[in-house]
């Protein structure tokens, strides 16, 4: 399943994402938006390491990778991205 979404979870900036999901696993993801992440190339490495992540572990894995890559996020978190991703999946399967 391919999904696209735009959302602004509480405490986060606007997040735009597109993702491919197969059997509850993220197989590809692109995350953009009005947030900041320093260094930017570190965020790109985080994004590249997210495929293979189980949906139920996405928020924790995202935050873990930010730490591993030494990225300081501003206006984005694992919970915020997971919320937008979950909303996109629910919309794609017809749930509200």
For residue 25, the domain's CATH number is 3.30.390.50
pLDDT (mean) for 19-34 = 96
Report whether pLDDT(95) > 80. Answer: no
pLDDT (mean) for 25-50 = 96
Number of domains in the chain: 1
* pLDDT for the residue 22: 95
Whether the model clears a pTM of 0.85, i.e. scores above it, the answer is yes
CA distances from 74 to 10, 12, 34, 37, 89 (A): 13, 8, 9, 6, 25
* pLDDT for the residue 59: 97
Residue with the larger pLDDT of the pair 65 and 96: 65
**Which residue range(s) make up the domain with 87?**
2-92
Sequence-distant (6+) residues with CB within 8 A of 67 are none
């Amino acid at each position: 399943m391919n999904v696209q979404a735009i959302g602004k979870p509480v405490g986060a900036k606007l997040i735009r994402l597109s993702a491919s999901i197969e059997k509850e696993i993220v197989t590809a993801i692109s995350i953009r938006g009005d947030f900041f992440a320093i260094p930017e190339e570190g965020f790109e490495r985080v994004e590249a390491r997210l495929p293979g992540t189980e949906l139920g572990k996405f928020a924790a894995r995202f935050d873990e990778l930010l730490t591993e890559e030494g990225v300081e996020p501003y206006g984005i978190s694992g919970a915020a991205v997971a919320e937008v991703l979950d909303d996109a999946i629910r919309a794609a399967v017809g749930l509200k």
